[in-house]
Amino acid sequence: MRTTPTILHLDMDAFFASVEQASKPSLRGKPVIVGGLGPRGVVSTCSYEARVFGVHSAMPMAQARRLAPNAAYLVPRFGLYRSISEQVMALLRALSPLVEPLSLDEAFVDLEAGGAAWDADSARLAGIRLRADIRAVTGLTGSVGLAASKMLAKIASEQAKPDGLVQIEPGTERALLGPMPVRTLPGVGPATGDHLRRAGIITVDEIAEAGEDELVRLLGKAHGHALYAMALAHDDRPVVAERETKSVSVEDTYDVDIHDRIRVELEVQRLADRCVRRLRGAGLSGRTIVLKVRRYDFSTLTRSETLRGPTDDPGVVREAAARLLDSVDTTGGVRLLGVGVSGLADFTQEDLFAQAAGEVAIAAEEEPGDEGEHPEPEQPVERRWAAGIDVRHTEHGHGWVQGSGVGRVTVRFETPQSELPGRVRTFRTDDPDLEPVEPLPLVERRPGDEETLGDGAGHRTPAG
């Protein structure tokens, strides 16, 4: 492990929700919740104002509505999120050739590799400049962690939230990590955390005190060795430049075999939701759903289903995973379950509706008259107006949909540059003067902007 805090971890603050607040002046400083708005939708991201009410990512949307009934509920606009992410990643690549994106809003950077930092002072200066550049280019805030390893840099950025910078000085790592809960360490999920808790291990210090042999006995050789090293603040993982992702998957190993079929089905649904959150976090969609089942006798079965088109719809992935599970006998017990998505594609707006439309078409063929749970494909007269999408009216200009129903759509007319909240008007859903449009940039570009940003090393770089 290096001796200088020159690994940087950037995590944008409540990214999707912050983008929505920046683009909609009437929502600034108010609770905003982004996610699937249907009956089975889940929260993708929520603003800090919404978190006060107990709302958090991965929560069922119905529960979020009960906790924060007056919040703004919006569909994700992944095209906009991806474009802003590209601006942020360009700023990171100006710092170093070694940038390891983890999702649209999170990445590691090796500052030494690009010459942007060589000691604690230069690293802090690079982090300060990066945060200023992100604000100038996107209008958003990000939190920065600086440390001598990836693990500690990520912990530091979490401590820095929101809109801050924390630097962990080499030599202080053990004292910092010691009192933290075991879930702080990478690779310690709910199942491992519960397993350690039952063994009386609650904090990182207690992991170190238990010793490597005990951890290997509890968790197995690979996991035990790795966890013991991290508890001692040893993390030599390098920052790896981005590479093509082949698939996105999640899996859980259970301490006690699951025999209850209903419990197995619920676990598969939960894993499908986690997989979709990871898929969306990477700005991807996929065509092939994969189910992995390791049974009581350690035999491992894999089942897959290829859809008509790429999807990141949690309902579609859940249904496909459930169909795959129907073909697997679990009566002897299940040790491990996993759900994955492959056949990945960059997310496009069309992908949002391709699979849902396909499923409606199938349902119509098999059960005439059954509306199903998916929205009908867009018709020439009755258009779909999801809450949060951008629209333009020939008379009133640019705005966004606040809500729709019973043949009416309500629009607030404002832009990211509006100084005050815009006026609200209601139209027929088939109004010929109203049409969906692409989002506007969050920050207006003016001549000379490209000369104003620093690369964190004292150089000047284009604004991207």
Annotated catalytic residue 444: no
pLDDT score recorded for residue 296 = 82
Distances (CA, A) of 271 to 239, 274, 339: 28, 5, 6
Sign, CA dihedral 319-323-328-330, equals positive
Spans of the chain below 70 pLDDT: 242-245, 346-383, 445-464
What is the pLDDT at residue 280?
84
Q: For residue 136, what are the contacts with CB-CB under 8 A and spacing of at least 6?
A: 443, 449, 452, 453, 463
Which residues, in sequence order, are CB contacts of 248 under 8 Å at separation 6+?
A: 275, 278, 279, 282, 284, 286, 340, 341, 342, 344
What pLDDT is attached to residue 453?
A: 53
> How many whole angstroms separate alpha carbon 350 and alpha carbon 364?
21
Amino acid at the residue 116:
A
Catalytic residue among 20, 49, 106, 359: 106
User: What are the structural domains of the chain?
Assistant: 180-231 (1.10.150.20), 247-351 (3.30.1490.100)
| pTM (two decimals) | 0.74
pLDDT for the residue 371: 29
- Check if the beta carbon of residue 143 is closer than 8 Å to that of residue 10: yes
CB 107 within 8 A of CB 100: yes
pLDDT in tens, 101-113: 988 899 999 999 9
Q: Quick one: pLDDT at residue 360?
A: 33
